[in-house]
Amino acid sequence: MKIDNTLAAVVTGGASGLGRASAQALADAGVKVAVFDISEEAGVAFAREIGGVFCNVNIMDEDSVEAGFARAREAHGQERIVVHCAVVAGGGKTVSFDKKTGAYKRTATEQIARSAEGIFTASYRVASIAALGMANADPLNDDGERGAIILTSSAAAQDGQVGQVAYAGGKGAVNAMVLPMARDLMDLGIRVNAIMPGTFATPPMLHVKEQAPEVFEGLGKAVPFPRRLGKPEEFGSLVMELARNTYFNGQCIRLDGAIRMPPR
């Protein structure tokens, strides 16, 4: 796919972290970017900064996502690139000891279901709405390509740690969805890939740096090479390559400095 100012993109979770870096990389290449986020103040300011449009979107709500795509398309035309970074997730060990009651307890099914909705179902929601729009657009090149969908999984999908049943399970489901979705959309010329980031210097991690610098330093040293957390712009760089390189399809790619997460 030729990346230039004739293309439009949608980035969910685009007001901060990996989403912001992805939106910035696309905008730097001339792409018209719609920033989907629930953080309106930050989203409006950033969208203005990159010459894009902000859409207040809650990925847990079908109507909200539909409205966001409608607004983005009204402003920029049919998106050809979608990067889904937004997530809603919870955590908790399957069974843990409650010091208050002196008894064991389990993580509630409802909490697991909420994570499944906020990771797997939301990923399907965003990807399928985008794909429907792309399916009705003209091909972009001789390959018949109509668009690229890039989902955000996690290294936790393969190396889930203690307390990550909900998160790792949701991200594993995203991985499992990529190939069949790519096959569903192959006759339409729509590609589907996922990035599995390791430990990145996103706002939650930078908060750890402020509150517990020794823990933050240890996180960086746990990465084989380079011995640091990933930079959001490195995620954005891979987003650009997945969009640009038409032969990337049906892939789940780790971006993690060769880290393999320990149990804790």
- Active site positions, annotated: 167
Report d(CA 237, CA 234) in Å as an integer. Answer: 5
* Residue pair 150/254 in contact by the 8 Å Cβ criterion: no
Report d(CA 102, CA 34) in Å as an integer. Answer: 50
Report d(CA 81, CA 41) in Å as an integer. Answer: 24
Nearest Cα neighbor of 14 from 43, 40, 41 is 43
Tokens matching residue 121: 């179902």
Residue 68 phi, psi (nearest 5): -65, -45
* Residue pair 66/130 in contact by the 8 Å Cβ criterion: no
Report d(CA 67, CA 230) in Å as an integer. Answer: 33
Q: Strand, helix or coil at 211?
A: helix
Q: Determine which helix (DSSP H) or strand (DSSP E) holds 165, and give its type and residue range.
A: helix 165-184
Residue 253 phi, psi (nearest 5): -115, 125
Strands 190-197 and 252-255: parallel
